[in-house]
Structure 1
Amino acid sequence: MSFLPQSAPRGQIDKAQGSTVQMVVEALAARMASGDYPPGSRLPAERQLAESLKVARNTLREALDILEVRGLIMRRAGAGSFVTEPGGWDGSAPVIAATGPLHLQVMRGILEPEMARLAIVNMPPATIEALSRILDQMHNDADPAQFARHEEEFHLRLAEGTGNPLLVACYNLVVKARRQPQRAAMLRRHMTPERIRSQRESYAALVGALTARDIPHAMELVQQALLEEQRLFMQED
């Protein structure tokens, strides 16, 4: 199936095909997450899947290759493709695979400001101390990948400070989604020394607001940080 005119440049065609493969990956992962294709079940035949998704067979096969690498399916020669059996199964994997950058930003925008508010209301002094220690680690580490891990730990500690186990579980899923390869690639492109310095200042201000139990200022700082990351996301689009 052709998605571009025949006169389109080769690079533009390749980009469109790659985007189509990713859409197929997300569509199939979403079907797994919804239970349409439960763990242990056999996927429909390639021809049937390609027709239902309105894509070429080679596009579907590329998407199945990606799902296999991610451990979401297992392919058996002559038998077809099977959703990974329970045991090695991570129930969050299909959700994460189907989560795009915009989905992630929407969820962070819902959760993170509320985490700051609830943490200020509920967190014990030990949580403030833990956040301060993570801030010290941020100041001592300029490696983009490691800095991102400190950010994850910071937000997970903040989630724990809310005293809401369901919120903690939701944010753990957000962290897993943040570790997707495309986001890691974005970090490498944009986590310059200048941006890391700016992030450190932002987190230092947030720790100050949390320590002062200043809910409006803490929520404002979180929202500003999210807007800055949203601007980076829009540059990638």
Structure 2
Amino acid sequence: MTGSPRLDPIDQKPRYRLVAESLAARIRAGDYPAGTKMPADKDLVDQLRVSRTTVREAMIALELMGLVVTRYGAGAFVAAVLPPEAPDLSGLPGYFELVEARFAFEPEIAAIAAGTLTPAATARLRAAIEGMCDETATLAEVEACDRDFHLCVAQATGNAVFAQVVGEFWHARQQFPEWTRLNNRQGPADIARFSRAEHQAILDALAAGDAAAARAAMQLHCRNSGQPLLERWRRLEEEGAAPQSPAAGRVLRRTAS
């Protein structure tokens, strides 16, 4: 008796990745020559019949591939020199997906940690803040301290799954070289606000055992962490203010509530 033919599994790819792969193929084929301006977001939306958020995700993926560069006030351009081979982005979430996921999970993790923080964890969090604010530290060292702060909060809950989830957030974040560069907060005022003020507010709430305050402080921090790149893409629009992305909208609505 002959069995049924075996079928290959269907590869379920996010739409933004399909768009990125399509545009990458067009770039490598020379349809968009090196150094020329890419079509505006609104044109890609009309031609591809996808959302503006999908197009933005795709353009960020193309930046990670080294195929596209963006210029403030001018838009996106094909790279002058194309890399020989694009990196594999098959396991990489979308940037907006990562921003939304952090906003959904980390505030609740902070709320739980507010009841379990130990003196040792408190000291570790203080050291991480000081490391982030050290004017002599390299960007990599600042990022390492930032990561340690958020991992420490998750580990303080005593739940290994929470720590793993936050660790995965940071692993994904490290795949976005634009994240650190475009959220560059090297000015003293920005460092004081983001690295010290926002992280200190989280620590103060945790040390006080105030779950509601810890949740609110982490919500604000996660929103501010992702907002600069969202705003950057709005500034690149050529036809005035762009509609807010679904992920950004949900983040902002929940913060305001």
Q: How many residues align?
A: 171
User: Normalized against structure 2, the TM-score is what?
Assistant: 0.56
1:136–1:184 distance in 2 versus 1, CA, 3 Å: closer
1:112–1:63 distance in 2 versus 1, CA, 3 Å: farther
Larger RCO: 1 or 2 (CA < 8 Å, sep 6+): 2
Matches within 5 A, 1:94-133: 94-95=90-91, 98-133=92-127
1:194 aligns with 2:220: no
Q: In the alignment, is the contact (CA less than 8 A) between 1:134 and 1:150 conserved in 2?
A: yes
1:21–1:106 distance in 2 versus 1, CA, 3 Å: closer
Matches within 5 A, 1:1-237: 10-13=36-39, 19=58, 22=61, 65-67=85-87, 94-95=90-91, 98-141=92-135, 143-180=138-175, 181-188=177-184, 190-199=185-194, 200-237=196-233
Higher helix share: 1
Q: In the alignment, is the contact (CA less than 8 A) between 2:118 and 2:156 conserved in 1?
A: yes
Distance 1:20 1:211 in 2: 41
Uncovered stretches (5+) of structure 1, i.e. residues with no partner:
27-61, 73-92
Give the drift of 1:193: 2.9
Uncovered stretches (5+) of structure 2, i.e. residues with no partner:
1-21, 45-54, 66-81, 234-257
Q: In the alignment, is the contact (CA less than 8 A) between 2:116 and 2:157 conserved in 1?
A: yes
Q: In the alignment, is the contact (CA less than 8 A) between 2:155 and 2:163 conserved in 1?
A: yes
**C-alpha deviations, 1:37-75, integer Å up to 9, x for none?**
xxxxxxxxxxxxxxxxxxxxxxxxx899223xxxx5xxx
Q: Which runs of 4+ in 1 moved over 6 A?
A: 14-18
1:21–1:227 distance in 2 versus 1, CA, 3 Å: closer
**Percentage of pairs with the same residue:** 21
User: One-letter code of the match for 2:160?
Assistant: P
Aligned partner of residue 216 in structure 1, secondary structure: helix
1:186–1:20 distance in 2 versus 1, CA, 3 Å: closer
User: One-letter code of the match for 1:115?
Assistant: I
**C-alpha deviations, 1:199-218, integer Å up to 9, x for none?**
11111222111111111111
Give the drift of 1:230: 3.3
Q: In the alignment, is the contact (CA less than 8 A) between 1:123 and 1:163 conserved in 2?
A: no
1:151–1:11 distance in 2 versus 1, CA, 3 Å: same
Q: In the alignment, is the contact (CA less than 8 A) between 2:117 and 2:206 conserved in 1?
A: no
1:22–1:218 distance in 2 versus 1, CA, 3 Å: closer
Distance 1:103 1:118 in 2: 23
1:20–1:207 distance in 2 versus 1, CA, 3 Å: closer
**C-alpha deviations, 1:177-205, integer Å up to 9, x for none?**
111222133234x5433211111111122
Distance 1:201 1:176 in 2: 25
Across the aligned residues of Structure 1 and Structure 2, the Cα RMSD in angstroms comes to 3.6
